[in-house]
Amino acid sequence: MKKHNFSAGPSILPQEVLKKASEAIIDFNGLGLSLIEISHRSKDFIAVMDKAQALVKELLELPEGYSVLFLQGGASTEFLMAPYNLLKEGGKAAYLDTGSWSSKAIKEAKNFGETIVVASSKDKGYSYIPKGYTVPTDADYIHFTSNNTIFGTQLKEFPGGDVLKVVDMSSDIFSRKLDFTQFDVVYAGAQKNMGPSGATLVIVKDEVFGKSGRVVPSMLDYAVHAKAGSMFNTPPVFPVYVSMLTLEWLKSNGGIEAIEKTNIEKASLLYDEIDNNPSFLGFAAKEDRSNMNVTFTLTDESLKDKFDALALAAGISGINGHRSVGGYRASIYNAMPIESIQVLVNVMKELNK
Amino acid sequence: MKKHNFSAGPSILPQEVLKKASEAIIDFNGLGLSLIEISHRSKDFIAVMDKAQALVKELLELPEGYSVLFLQGGASTEFLMAPYNLLKEGGKAAYLDTGSWSSKAIKEAKNFGETIVVASSKDKGYSYIPKGYTVPTDADYIHFTSNNTIFGTQLKEFPGGDVLKVVDMSSDIFSRKLDFTQFDVVYAGAQKNMGPSGATLVIVKDEVFGKSGRVVPSMLDYAVHAKAGSMFNTPPVFPVYVSMLTLEWLKSNGGIEAIEKTNIEKASLLYDEIDNNPSFLGFAAKEDRSNMNVTFTLTDESLKDKFDALALAAGISGINGHRSVGGYRASIYNAMPIESIQVLVNVMKELNK
């Protein structure tokens, strides 16, 4: 039976990417060797790294002056790398608190100095995005999470002002057209719209290198990785390769503009059902709804067993809500076909019959 | 043509491991989903992580009181995690300098406090292992590299004394029987004897948690990862899975004792040829020779083109020496069959005809 994979991450990847990745494990580029048993300094792998970086720049329309890095450690390591690289001794960091991941980032920043929360939506269970807050002009940077995977909210506008912008874009990068020149550091764990877990995309404006003035350990220093072309040490070869394949897939399918159109269509299909079906209730404030993670609950909890059984029978996988929220979460990343969302919508309609 | 893969790392893996890994990219455990698109909190992946950890404990005969972690960032990140976790403010770290990787570890430790080099073989191009040095009894720990991939030397005995022992075992872990209870922290990048790049095995004696007394960022804190069962954040799913497969392969082939016997046989075959063939000269001091990385040069450089052509024609790949040393390096890790070494030896004999 065909599975419909709504997993929040690691999550669905394009079938053709999986096929190519599987083949490269046996024989890469006709070398007679596996992708994962050749030197990362070989010309075949250097070509992979170069192409992955070039595709990021092309798809996101990054101008000169930005470095593209494929690091390890996930967004969680960026929670500490951001202050290590940007927060001066005696300086001040500003954070927008929109959920669990923001909170974790704030916790790590506090180890490095004064950390101000400019606004938080914790008062209503992170079901909305705060607006109308002020960013202190003397902050070393403002940090925000563009999409909140757990709560299903998404920033439609970003903080402005003359302060460095650091954004955790783990769960919606490559999903919508944005002006990346407004950001100074963008980071994203690979395992949503890019590839398997184990690689972390970091985009850094070269102007910010050394901003904190701290002695930064080599592996935590953006400048060190940028100077080495993201090959300061052995990179995570397989996750980088699969990321490259996914970015090729995205480009061949029309790039960001095309995928954004599809993503809006996909999300609307599901949100419309939630809003029109009396058995379901959306979790996030309507104006802040995420086009990547759709969170909802049953209006009548006694229907849970029936809904779960219908979903299982339809081949639907991974729609349980995060343990901290409960309910349901349908993650509908770039690689999710609209047909799978239609299957879920049909099950929701079926429940209400 | 069959390739004989002598790459220093990422390096050769068992063929049956590559086959299973390739299949799991398409369909894992018959789930109808790829290994790399399911949640790391799913029972199928938790079983992988549990098994990988259990196999490490079993194969290395680790007693109670040690935690086994699969982290990201490579040995290079451990260069800073070791002092962060173990070196007290105002304390002292001791290092044995046996090559490029030791030197890099020393450089990172210096950011955290006083760092003493107890002995170095830099005077002779790192071609031997220093002996007869003294470890200061007031050091917070002594750090050493068990095998020097670039220079082809290997520690046959380890520093003793009543001080914590930290060992970088990246290029010879799982290759020989050792008493692991003598070590407090053991780390190893996966990409030699364990799996693809992107996972780092860290074995920590639980007694050392919090030893440095520093505020350690969560992602750099051994205790945080141990408490979370190596799932504090999304682990590198694919590298962990392939590592598990390789450890299963090792166990089914007789474990460490059997592989050590084979490794000695393999290394002897090649070193005997180097010692008996007038066209070749071994690089490392005989008593310190590595059974993993065999380094040698031509006695007559004018034979280089001929030797390279013979090797290429025989399907030999990855034997160029590291750029900092030159000459040749044959890396003969666990997965390297003795047949491939015989092919190399035949080429060496052929050169001398």
The answer to whether A217 faces chain B, any CB pair under 8 Å, is yes
Is a pLDDT exceeding 80 seen at residue A1?
Answer: no
Contact B25, B35 (CB under 8 A): yes
Say whether pTM exceeds 0.90: yes
Q: What is the pLDDT of residue B291?
A: 98
Contact A189, A164 (CB under 8 A): no
Cα–Cα distance measured from residue A307 to residue A311, given in angstroms and rounded to the nearest whole number: 6
Active site (catalytic) residues of B: 101, 168, 192
Per-residue pLDDT band at B16 (split at 50, 70, 90): very high
Q: What is the pLDDT of residue B324?
A: 86
Find which of A22, A234, A322, A331 to mutate to test the B interface (most B CBs within 10 Å of its CB).
A234
Mapping DSSP onto H, E and C, the string for B71-128 reads: ECCHHHHHHHHHHHHHCCCCCEEEEEECCHHHHHHHHHHCCCCEEEEEEECHHHCCCC
Q: What is the pLDDT of residue B353?
A: 81
Q: What is the pLDDT of residue A203?
A: 98
Residues B168-218 have pLDDT tens digits of 999 999 999 999 999 999 999 999 999 999 999 999 999 999 999 999 999
In this prediction, does ipTM exceed 0.85?
Answer: yes
Q: Percent of chain B at pLDDT above 70?
A: 100
Q: Tell me the torsion sign for CA atoms A144, A146, A152, A156.
A: positive
Per-residue pLDDT band at A324 (split at 50, 70, 90): confident
Average pLDDT value for chain A: 97
The answer to whether B12 faces chain A, any CB pair under 8 Å, is yes
Residues A75-100 have pLDDT tens digits of 999 999 999 999 999 999 999 999 99
Q: Tell me the torsion sign for CA atoms A180, A185, A190, A191.
A: negative
Torsion-angle region of B9 (φ positive above 0: left; ψ -120 to 50: alpha; else: beta): left
Is a pLDDT exceeding 80 seen at residue B1?
Answer: no
Question: DSSP string of B240-306?
Answer: HHHHHHHHHHHHHTTHHHHHHHHHHHHHHHHHHHHHH-TTEEE-S-GGGB-SSEEEEEESSGGGHHH
Q: Which residues of B touch A197 (CB under 8 A)?
A: 36, 40, 234-238
Question: Looking at per-residue confidence, does B79 or B323 come out higher?
Answer: B79
Pairwise CB contact (< 8 Å): B219 & A3: no
Pairwise CB contact (< 8 Å): B198 & A3: no
Per-residue pLDDT band at B2 (split at 50, 70, 90): confident
Domains and CATH numbers, chain B: 4-8+255-351 (3.90.1150.10), 16-252 (3.40.640.10)
Please list, in sequence order, all residues whose beta carbon lies within 8 angstroms of the beta carbon of residue B315, skipping any fewer than 6 positions away.
A32, B1, B2, B3, B4, B343
Read off the pLDDT of each residue in A88-117 and give the average, rounded to a whole number: 98
Q: Percent of chain B at pLDDT above 90?
A: 98
Residues B194-204 have pLDDT tens digits of 999 999 999 99
- Cα-trace Rg, chain A: 21
